[in-house]
Amino acid sequence: MLLLVLGGIIDFGRAFTTQMAVTQAAREGARMVALNYSAGDVNSRVNAAAGTFAVTTTIVAGCPARGTTITTQASSVRVDNSFSFLILDSVMNLFGGGLAPTLTLSSTGSMRCMG
């Protein structure tokens, strides 16, 4: 029982750190989209900001092309990131692989278009 409590405390810290990395990566992606970078550049920046975490990136809304008048409908961008986190991964591996449940951590970054 003590091992599970200790594992839960450690995993909470891991999940918190992972959530912060996913959130920061979403912000970086939103900055790149707001400055009209290509989707490939955005994905590269998001993966670099996420570090060792393999995040899935979705560009939900983008800015109009440079030189275009920005309307209120297209005045901001949104980037969604998600990451599958294994709960008590190291403890569950003691009892056999594949038993660890997963938790999907997600974050949304939004930023106003720079025009």
Q: Measuring CA to CA, how many Å separate 103 from each of 15, 18, 77, 81? A: 9, 11, 26, 14
Total number of domains constituting the chain:
1
Q: Which residues of the chain have pLDDT under 70?
A: 62, 64-74, 89-100, 114-115
Radius of gyration of the chain (CA): 18
Q: Considering Cα of 102, then 27, then 45, then 17, what sign does the dihedral take?
A: negative
Could you read off the pLDDT of 39-54 as tens digits, one per residue?
Answer: 888 888 888 888 888 8
Tokens of 55: 């995040």
pLDDT at 14: 86
Can you tell me the distance from the alpha carbon of 95 to that of 66, in angstroms, rounded to the nearest whole number? Answer: 56
Residue range of the domain that includes 11:
2-112
